Structure 1
Amino acid sequence: MGNRDISRPHVFQAGSNSRVLLLLHGTGADEYDLLQLGRALDPEANLLSPRGMYLENGMNRFYERYSDGTFNEESIDLAVEELAEFIEVAIDHYGLREMPMTAVGFSNGANTAAALMVKRPELLAQAVLFGSTKPYREVQAVNLGGKRIWLANGDVDPYAPVSVSERWVSELSGFGASVSWLRHPGGHSVSPAHIQEISRDLA
């Protein structure tokens, strides 16, 4: 376990409602990257955006992947542990106790959000996953009753094959989560139509 402090690079923007959006960026981005997306999803939410602390060829990520593109699952576990610790510190530091937290991620950040949801479900009420795939080969059964998850992917996203998404949605639903699988015809990108739809759902 690391230090119980707030030193991890991050951005916090206070909102006017009682929702917290935990913004988790994609590879090569940083803690500023998803602020606009967060505001588009919920203009009144509190935004908490930490930086991924793993460096791959100088690019920020939340966890390591091997040279063939497969995920280092021990690195994912470490990322989840460090993120959970940061969240607990930030909740106290920024006065966010009793505010439901929704993880919002793109790509590497979305996979990390999904891992956080299945490993530390008590921290999250909801997860919005853009350009995301299943983070672990095998996921231990977990109670996700009452959790809401949006999986918003492109049908030709090389990082998120439709066949994997189909099984992943089925698995998450089997754990009790209410899952919306949104699809667009493009690739590894965020669809403006998906942003609008999820924003309406959140409202």
Structure 2
Amino acid sequence: MLPPHRLRRPHAAPSHRPPLLILLHGKGSSEVDLFQLADLFDPRFIVLSLRAPFQNASGLYRWYERQDTADGSVYNEEEVRASRLYLVQAINDSVMALGADPQQVYLFGFSQGAAMAMSVALTAPRRIRGLVAIAGRLLPAIAPFGAPAESMSHLRVLLQHGLKDEVVPFAESATACQLFAELSVKQGIREYAAGHTITPAMLRDARQFLRVQLDTTLVKDQDGAAQD
């Protein structure tokens, strides 16, 4: 059974199992937020916008609690770990329930959703093909669950961040980009004159990145099938 979500089917009937794009919102939001962007993404995708598992007092949702202290940020590590498992299970269930291609699963996350997308890439890389992480950060709580670097060679990662971000500093994405590079993951980072938000330029670049990944990987897969 899928968690609470919003769903957009591919715009045209696919000739094979369609790729899946999962949208992951930030703290204090819900699955409705990023779903407003669903029809802007490549029409070949199944687009699934997921709700985070923990509810705030406001009635909206979060992936984990974080507090700023004099000694730095303090994370609720139990929530981080629970959300990571929740997301991995949601990916598995979505592929099965929606008939998606398990080799063509992509994540698009903002803020906490971006942090969770990177967490899946680093701990369960075989579950996804790539991701777009906007204004995200690495979460220390997932480090013990890191996967071997050789299991990440297929990943494609785009990190996006506003230079004026007052919530998550740009340095967080720079640090993440360096880690992915050290793991030999094909990655890129793009900076924008923006705060803690998704700008039209970010969305344009994200859409192009995802379209290129689809065009490249689907052609390779079809060529491989033809050779078989």
Bin of the TM-score, shorter chain as denominator length: 0.7 to 0.9
Shift of 1:43: 3.4
- Does the 8 A contact of 2:135 with 2:162 survive in 1? yes
- Does the 8 A contact of 1:84 with 1:120 survive in 2? yes
Asked if 1:176 corresponds to 2:171, the answer is no
Write the distance in 1 (CA, Å) between the matches of 2:52 and 2:27: 8
1:34-68 residue CA offsets vs partner (Å, 9 max, x unmatched): 12334323233111122111123233011222364
Q: 2:196 aligns with which of 188, 192, 195?
A: 188
Write the distance in 1 (CA, Å) between the matches of 2:56 and 2:68: 11
- Does the 8 A contact of 2:95 with 2:102 survive in 1? no
State the match for 2:107 in structure 1: 103
Write the distance in 1 (CA, Å) between the matches of 2:162 and 2:5: 28
The one-letter code matched in structure 2 to 1:200 is: Q
Write the distance in 1 (CA, Å) between the matches of 2:181 and 2:39: 28
Task: Give ranges in structure 2 of 5+ residues lacking alignment.
Answer: 212-228
State the match for 1:44 in structure 2: 44
- Does the 8 A contact of 1:13 with 1:47 survive in 2? yes
- Does the 8 A contact of 1:111 with 1:134 survive in 2? yes
Write the distance in 1 (CA, Å) between the matches of 2:37 and 2:91: 20
Asked if 1:119 corresponds to 2:123, the answer is yes
Write the distance in 1 (CA, Å) between the matches of 2:79 and 2:66: 8
Shift of 1:102: 0.7
1:87-133 residue CA offsets vs partner (Å, 9 max, x unmatched): 21221111114351110011111111111111111111111111212
**Higher RCO by CA contacts (8 Å cutoff, separation 6 or greater):** 1
Task: Give ranges in structure 1 of 5+ residues lacking alignment.
Answer: none
The one-letter code matched in structure 2 to 1:164 is: E
- Does the 8 A contact of 1:20 with 1:101 survive in 2? yes
Q: 1:165 aligns with which of 173, 179, 189?
A: 173
State the match for 2:215 in structure 1: none
Larger Rg: 2
- Does the 8 A contact of 1:131 with 1:188 survive in 2? yes
Q: Secondary structure at the match of 1:70?
A: strand
Shift of 1:33: 1.2
Write the distance in 1 (CA, Å) between the matches of 2:52 and 2:169: 24
1:145-190 residue CA offsets vs partner (Å, 9 max, x unmatched): 1211111110121233233322221111111211110111121011
The one-letter code matched in structure 2 to 1:180 is: G
Asked if 1:61 corresponds to 2:62, the answer is yes
Asked if 1:202 corresponds to 2:185, the answer is no
- Does the 8 A contact of 1:105 with 1:128 survive in 2? yes
The one-letter code matched in structure 2 to 1:129 is: A
